[in-house]
């Protein structure tokens, strides 16, 4: 079958529902550009770009975005309640650090005590982020929490608050500045208190709660003190950044609704359309995904919940499930103060994290995927120079941020993506003598990347800039000159440019 016939099949033939008893299945309209599938009647080989191909099995597999196939498109279909990829479920010890924080800006000691009680039941320490000096009227509670649970406290950037906390909390060590959303982050003041870290980046946000941090890395990263939304250019770590709360990296990106798919129980219940029971099941899967990603690299998962009197019983259901799964997965429990020291050792390193599609809550269509609601997995990569996101099945990134272009950060100004017209094209791929060679055409000199969505333990892709994204894929990162370029990586497990798709 020729490539033209494959493309015609993608455009003209609607996908059939590949039915299996008891599983809900839909048959979406085919798209001229691409379509997302996660089921096939027969084994097949598929591709998004026509250069790198993937073998998929008969039955179910993780969602993948495709344009070409060696089988008829009418044998491909989709499941409305897909299972999780095996690579997103932890299978061994994890290096993921877990931090639970509570932003105390509203006086609600009932809420504070409920949060402490829920966390303490799982032996999870709380990092209390104090934003109002009036909370020091309850210093005895914080002291008791610290003595019983090892809880920590950190302050917003008010001089009188720092002084009061130092006077009333004898164990308090200013380590992390609480630079919240909705206001400009005062990095200079944080450094003046001796705090070489800050909390409060709202990953992928475009104005929710008055902040636009779109383009900044997720998790922890070593922030540039002159431009806090980007990594420190020289690869050092003078100022460590913590995100507000961990997100579902795939649905937050593809829907553009990062607040609906976060680990904050309020967000899930009020913005994401989850019931307490469904939110509890959902956060368990989010925890598993972060634990699995941490099997091959140290990462940080930060969760935040504000102590508000309302909806506390429902929030407790979600928090109980989240804490239970964190402990079950063997995450390393840390406070903000502890992580400000620990995470500095690895947060400047390049990082690639694969994240699955997890269904639940409100379904939002993604314009990036032709208004689809079945999503492929994503990989988020960043180093000190670029940030990139890849969709499952795509060799090239769907977005790229070049950090050198933005020497100043503002809380209402996102980091723009590199325009698509400036991104390189993949011309060819070949395997020879145990090496993979990729050929590109680049409109400009650019640090760039490619993703191979096959288990790294099978492909054995190695070389400078080869970064494992857990058990899902390998990201290759390299510098291109303007014009035609070739990059080469050792790939002792490669037997051609068709790979076994990660399941």
Following DSSP, what letter does each residue of 60-79 receive, concatenated? EEEEEEESEESS-GGGEEEE
Query: What percentage of the chain exceeds 90 in pLDDT?
Result: 80
Task: Quick: pLDDT tens for 306-330.
Answer: 886 654 688 899 999 999 999 999 9
DSSP of 399-456: EEEEGGG--S-BTTBPPPPPPGGGS-EEEEEEEETTEEEEEEEESS-EEEEEEE-S-H
Task: Give φ, ψ of 196 to 5 degrees.
Answer: -105, 35
Q: How far apart are CA 52 and CA 66, in angstroms?
A: 11
Beta strands in 72-212 (DSSP E): 76-79, 97-104, 126-130, 152-155, 177-178, 197-201
Tokens of 325: 């799964």
Tokens of 310: 């309302």
Closest Cα partner for 301 from 281, 323, 318, 269?
323
pLDDT at 30: 39
pLDDT band at 9 (very low <50, low <70, confident <90, very high): very low
Report the length, in residues, of the chain.
Answer: 503
> In this model, does residue 102 exceed pLDDT 70?
yes
> In this model, does residue 343 exceed pLDDT 50?
yes
Task: Give φ, ψ of 229 to 5 degrees.
Answer: -85, -5
Mean pLDDT of the chain: 90
Enumerate residues 6+ apart whose C-beta is below 8 A from 503. 57, 61, 62, 85, 86, 87
Task: Quick: pLDDT tens for 163-173.
Answer: 999 999 999 99
Tell me how crowded residue 135 is: count the other CB atoms within 10 A of its CB. 24
Q: Quick one: DSSP state of residue 300? A: E
pLDDT at 97: 98
> In this model, does residue 13 exceed pLDDT 50?
no
Residue with tokens 């068709």: 498
Query: What percentage of the chain exceeds 70 in pLDDT?
Result: 92
Average pLDDT for residues 275-299, to the nearest whole number?
A: 97
CB 461, CB 474: distance < 8 Å = yes
Q: What interhelical angle do 276-293 and 312-328 show, nearest 10?
A: 30
Average pLDDT for residues 110-139, to the nearest whole number?
A: 94
**pTM listed for this prediction:** 0.92
Average pLDDT for residues 51-65, to the nearest whole number?
A: 97
Residue with tokens 């003598």: 433
Q: Which residues pair with 101 in a beta bridge?
A: 127, 304
Tokens of 162: 């720092």
Can you tell me whether residue 278 is helix, strand or coil?
A: helix
Task: Quick: pLDDT tens for 60-71.
Answer: 999 999 999 999
Task: Quick: pLDDT tens for 363-387.
Answer: 999 989 989 999 999 999 999 999 9
Query: Helix %, strand %, coil % for the chain, to 5?
Result: 25, 30, 45
pLDDT at 312: 67
Poorest-pLDDT segment among 182-186, 216-220, 366-370 = 182-186
Residue burial 32-43, b: 16+ Cβ < 10 Å; e: rest: eebbbbbbbbee
Q: How far apart are the first and last CA of the chain?
A: 26
Q: Quick one: DSSP state of residue 44? A: E
């Amino acid at each position: 079958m020729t490539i033209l016939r494959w493309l015609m099949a993608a455009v003209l033939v609607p996908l059939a529902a590949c039915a299996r008893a008891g599983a809900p299945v839909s048959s979406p309209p085919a798209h001229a550009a691409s379509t997302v599938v996660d089921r096939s009647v027969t084994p097949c080989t598929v591709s998004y770009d026509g250069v790198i191909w993937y073998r998929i099995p008969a039955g179910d597999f993780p969602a993948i975005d495709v344009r070409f196939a060696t089988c008829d498109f009418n044998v491909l279909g989709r499941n409305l309640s897909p299972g999780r990829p095996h690579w997103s479920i932890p299978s061994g010890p994890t290096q993921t650090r877990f931090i639970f924080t509570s932003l105390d800006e509203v006086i609600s000691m009932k809420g504070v005590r409920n949060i402490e009680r829920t966390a303490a039941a799982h032996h999870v320490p709380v990092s209390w982020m104090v934003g109002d000096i009036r909370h020091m009227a309850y210093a005895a509670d914080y002291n008791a929490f610290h003595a019983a649970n090892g809880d920590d406290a950190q302050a917003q950037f008010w001089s009188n608050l720092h002084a009061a906390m130092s006077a009333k909390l004898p164990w308090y060590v200013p380590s992390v500045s609480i630079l919240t959303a909705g206001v400009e982050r005062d990095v200079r003041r944080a450094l003046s208190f001796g705090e070489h870290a800050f909390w409060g980046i709202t990953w992928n946000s475009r104005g929710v709660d008055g902040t636009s941090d779109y383009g900044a890395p997720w998790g922890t990263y070593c922030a540039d003190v002159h431009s806090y939304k980007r990594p420190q250019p020289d690869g050092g770590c003078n100022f460590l950044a913590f995100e507000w709360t961990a997100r579902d990296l795939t649905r937050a990106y593809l829907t553009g609704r990062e607040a609906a798919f976060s680990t904050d129980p309020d967000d899930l219940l009020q913005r994401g359309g989850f019931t307490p029971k469904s939110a509890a099941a959902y956060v368990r899967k989010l925890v598993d995904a972060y634990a699995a990603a941490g099997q091959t690299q140290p990462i940080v998962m930060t969760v935040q919940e504000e102590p508000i009197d309302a909806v506390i019983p429902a929030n407790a259901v979600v928090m109980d499930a989240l804490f239970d799964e964190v402990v079950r997965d063997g995450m390393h429990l840390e406070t903000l103060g502890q992580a400000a020291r620990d995470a500095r050792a690895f947060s400047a390193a390049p990082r690639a994290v694969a994240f699955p599609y997890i269904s639940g809550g409100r379904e939002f269509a993604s314009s990036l995927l032709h208004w689809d609601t079945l999503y492929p997995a994503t990989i988020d990569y960043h180093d000190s120079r670029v940030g990139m996101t890849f969709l499952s099945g795509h060799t090239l990134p769907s977005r790229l941020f070049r950090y050198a272009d933005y020497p100043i950060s503002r809380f209402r100004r996102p980091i723009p993506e590199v325009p698509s017209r400036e991104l390189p094209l993949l011309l060819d791929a070949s395997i020879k003598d145990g090496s993979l060679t990729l050929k590109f055409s680049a409109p400009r000199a650019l640090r760039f990347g490619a993703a191979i969505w096959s288990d790294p333990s099978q492909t054995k892709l190695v070389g400078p800039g080869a970064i494992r994204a857990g058990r899902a894929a390998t990201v290759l990162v390299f510098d291109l000159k303007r014009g035609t370029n070739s990059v080469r990586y050792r790939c002792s497990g490669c037997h051609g440019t068709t790979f076994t798709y990660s399941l």
